[in-house]
């Protein structure tokens, strides 16, 4: 589920190794070698580049040390404070070694973080963003065969894996200390993953460390690790003694009831928001049948008493996880050209850039509601590649992002952009402060650096184009928006994307050519002229009148949305008139033909 987040995946890969080395450190008589290996492994996790995974690992290891110290009391080894102190000191020493080894990466990171938005930590609201909603609890633990659950919320071991974990908890084949430690780790990880839905986490969100990261759902990594260990104990416990066999039916019944209740709750009670699952939250009959079949196989495994039962359990567990993995996004493959293909927008910008002494910047403002101009050809090609609906959806989404040059994609073509950060510590405080000047008053600050996403508000029709003075200050000459703001009427083209720039424009500083004798005006308020108005998109009106009326109409300020000059002697000949918003002389602003800079629209 985290394949798309490479550094997080690499960091998570070190987590079970860290726990194994820490366990050896706590239980071996000569801890120096284990401590050295733990510090080295922890440093390698730091080098993976995902600090939150390092933090989560530290929380899990500290809890593991405390639980191990408590278990040692039952074995009569030393006093409780001494054992806790020893466990935490050894962990701290290993972490200090890891920090020392990782200094070449940590020092520049600390310097950058001092300039970052995150240097002073997140607010509680920000720190609890992407908490695990209770409504997806069942979908997080059960394998999904329908909608694709948001990757941060996936913690499934499959029904067979979950059942084996419960069997490991219930069985006496493994010491109660081991079972209790991993069960408590799973429960604590789940409680932390709930984030804002857990009142206790709201207290933690103000503490150092917890206030530096978002996405509490990532604590599900501890849940997955703990359940995997418990499932291993469950496989081990399949080989039982005669004394244990007496309690076997009751335990099997309890596990069957738990699995059945979880399926019923997930299907009929817990109703997640549709936005959390790509493809919708509905659970099909096919999924219910697969879940029921997996549960029956689980009961069969727990009932059998054969020397091959453990092997069968491992094989069935792997098969179920493989089947569930077929629905994950990494299977929705697309041809390389969705990323490497040079779209028209890129070609035009590279051509313009070649004519500039210093390449100017761009900003993309698009909710991606448009369809590419060549969508029919793309679909035909994808059908030929046997791509299913999900794969085609993601591929077309990637094409649209490339068409509009959404954040980070301009780097592929060496095109400068004023946008492009994607979270982490890279967005600086000064960048956020300046970018606030480009945003409407009701927009959220772009603390994660994704400025264009903050400019797609409904209040400005999904394209809040910044004031030109702030764009000019950063040499941003290109604004890319959707063509959903364009429409044709009687063969004449009108572009309504720059509607808010017409406010205050009272005259043209460059009149249209003499051949244009008519003008089409899209407006929000009635015009004080004797001409009929036709309703057009979004409740606007369109009036076509003599071009000599345009100066009077501009002075009326009727809430102009778009203006196009028309040559009535030649059908289909027209010229867009776009507003130019600059520093007005006195109280007026002026308009000019063709607009300021280059305005490319995603097609």
405 with 450, same domain? yes
Evaluate whether 21 touches 41 at the Cβ level (below 8 Å): yes
Note whether residue 460 is domain-resident: yes
Number of domains in the chain: 2
Note whether residue 451 is domain-resident: yes
**Per-residue DSSP letter, 386:** T
pLDDT of residue 78: 67
564 with 454, same domain? no
The first and second tokens of residue 220, run together, are 């599900």
Measured in degrees and rounded to the nearest 5, phi and psi for residue 54 equal -65, -45
Note whether residue 386 is domain-resident: yes
545 with 419, same domain? no
Evaluate whether 220 touches 153 at the Cβ level (below 8 Å): yes
590 with 506, same domain? yes
pLDDT of residue 75: 53
586 with 566, same domain? yes
The whole-model pTM stands at 0.85
pLDDT of residue 599: 46
472 with 341, same domain? yes
Note whether residue 393 is domain-resident: yes
Note whether residue 87 is domain-resident: no
What's the angle, vertex CA 11, arms to CA 27 and CA 450, rounded to 5?
150
376 with 469, same domain? yes
Task: Determine how β-strand 486-489 pairs with β-strand 492-495.
Answer: antiparallel
In this prediction, what percent of the chain has a pLDDT beyond 70?
A: 93
551 with 522, same domain? yes
505 with 431, same domain? no
Distances (CA, A) of 515 to 495, 565, 570, 573: 21, 10, 10, 10
3-state helix/strand/coil string of 481-502: EEHHHEEEECCEEEECCCHHHH
478, 502, 534 — which closes off a domain? 478
The first and second tokens of residue 108, run together, are 């520049």
- Give the position of tokens 């095109």: 415
CB atoms within 10 A of CB 105: 13
347 with 469, same domain? yes
460 with 546, same domain? no
Note whether residue 161 is domain-resident: no
377 with 438, same domain? yes
Among residues 71, 253, 73, the alpha carbon closest in space to that of 179 is found at: 71
Q: Which residues contact 314 (CB under 8 A, 6 or more apart)?
A: 235
Note whether residue 304 is domain-resident: no
Each residue's pLDDT tens digit, 45-83: 999 999 999 999 999 999 999 999 987 655 556 678 888
Evaluate whether 271 touches 135 at the Cβ level (below 8 Å): yes
Residues of the chain with pLDDT under 50: 581-603
pLDDT of residue 277: 87
428, 448, 478 — which closes off a domain? 478
Which range marks the domain in which residue 355 is found? 337-478
423, 448, 478 — which closes off a domain? 478
Q: Which residues contact 405 (CB under 8 A, 6 or more apart)?
A: 345, 346, 349, 362, 364, 413, 415, 417, 480
Among residues 587, 515, 528, the alpha carbon closest in space to that of 554 is found at: 528
Beta bridge partner(s), residue 574: 566
Note whether residue 275 is domain-resident: no
């Amino acid at each position: 589920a985290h394949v798309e987040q490479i550094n997080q995946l690499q960091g998570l890969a070190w987590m079970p190794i860290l726990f194994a080395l820490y366990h050896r450190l706590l239980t071996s008589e000569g801890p120096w070698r284990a401590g050295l290996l733990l510090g080295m492994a922890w440093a390698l996790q730091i080098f993976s580049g995902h600090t939150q995974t390092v933090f989560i690992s530290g929380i899990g290891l500290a809890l593991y040390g405390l639980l191990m110290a408590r278990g040692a009391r039952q074995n009569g080894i030393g006093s409780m404070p001494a054992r806790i102190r020893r466990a935490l000191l050894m962990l701290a020493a290993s972490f200090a070694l890891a920090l020392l080894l990782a200094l070449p990466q940590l020092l520049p990171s600390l310097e950058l973080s001092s300039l970052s938005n995150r240097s002073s930590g997140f607010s509680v609201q920000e720190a609890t963003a992407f908490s695990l909603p209770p409504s997806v609890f069942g979908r997080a633990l059960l394998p999904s065969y329908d909608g694709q659950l948001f990757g941060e919320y996936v913690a499934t071991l499959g029904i067979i894996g979950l059942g084996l974990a419960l069997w490991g908890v219930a069985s006496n084949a493994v010491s109660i200390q081991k079972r209790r430690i991993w069960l408590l780790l799973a429960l604590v990880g789940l409680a932390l993953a709930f984030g804002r839905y857990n009142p206790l986490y709201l207290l933690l969100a103000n503490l150092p460390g917890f206030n530096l990261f978002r996405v509490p759902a990532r604590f599900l990594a501890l849940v997955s690790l703990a359940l995997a260990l418990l499932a291993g104990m469950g496989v081990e416990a399949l080989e039982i003694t005669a004394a244990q066999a007496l309690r076997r039916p009751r335990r099997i019944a309890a596990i069957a009831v738990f699995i059945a209740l979880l399926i019923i709750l997930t299907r009929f009670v817990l109703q997640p928001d549709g936005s959390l699952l790509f493809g919708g939250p509905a659970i099909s009959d096919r999924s219910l049948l697969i879940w029921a079949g997996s549960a029956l196989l689980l009961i069969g495994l727990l009932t059998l008493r054969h020397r091959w039962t453990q092997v069968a359990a491992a094989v069935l567990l792997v098969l179920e996880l493989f089947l569930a993995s077929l629905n994950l996004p990494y299977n929705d493959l697309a041809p390389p050209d969705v990323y490497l293909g040079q779209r028209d927008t890129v070609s035009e910008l590279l051509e313009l850039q070649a004519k500039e002494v210093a390449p100017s910047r761009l900003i993309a403002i698009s909710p991606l509601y448009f369809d590419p101009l060549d969508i029919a050809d793309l679909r035909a090609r994808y059908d030929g590649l046997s791509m299913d609906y999900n794969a085609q959806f993601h591929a077309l989404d990637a094409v649209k992002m490339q068409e509009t040059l959404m954040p980070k994609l301009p780097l592929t073509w060496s095109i400068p952009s004023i946008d492009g950060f994607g979270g982490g510590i890279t967005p600086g405080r000064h960048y956020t402060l300046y970018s606030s000047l480009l945003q409407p008053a009701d927009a959220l600050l772009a603390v994660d650096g994704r400025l264009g996403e903050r400019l797609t508000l409904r209040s400005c029709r999904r394209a809040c184009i910044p004031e030109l003075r702030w764009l000019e200050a950063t040499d941003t000459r290109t604004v890319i928006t959707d063509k959903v703001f364009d429409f044709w009427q009687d063969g004449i083209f009108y572009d309504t994307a720059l509607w808010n720039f017409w406010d205050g424009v009272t005259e043209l500083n460059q009149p249209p050519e003499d051949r244009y004798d008519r003008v089409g005006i899209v407006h929000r308020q009635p015009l004080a002229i004797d001409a009929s108005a036709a309703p057009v998109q979004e409740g606007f009106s369109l009036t076509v009148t003599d071009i000599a009326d345009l100066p009077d109409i501009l002075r009326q300020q009727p809430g102009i949305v778009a203006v196009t000059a028309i040559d009535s002697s030649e059908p289909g000949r027209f010229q867009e008139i776009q507003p130019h918003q600059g520093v007005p002389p006195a109280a007026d602003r002026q308009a000019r033909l063709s607009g300021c800079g280059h305005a490319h629209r995603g097609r």
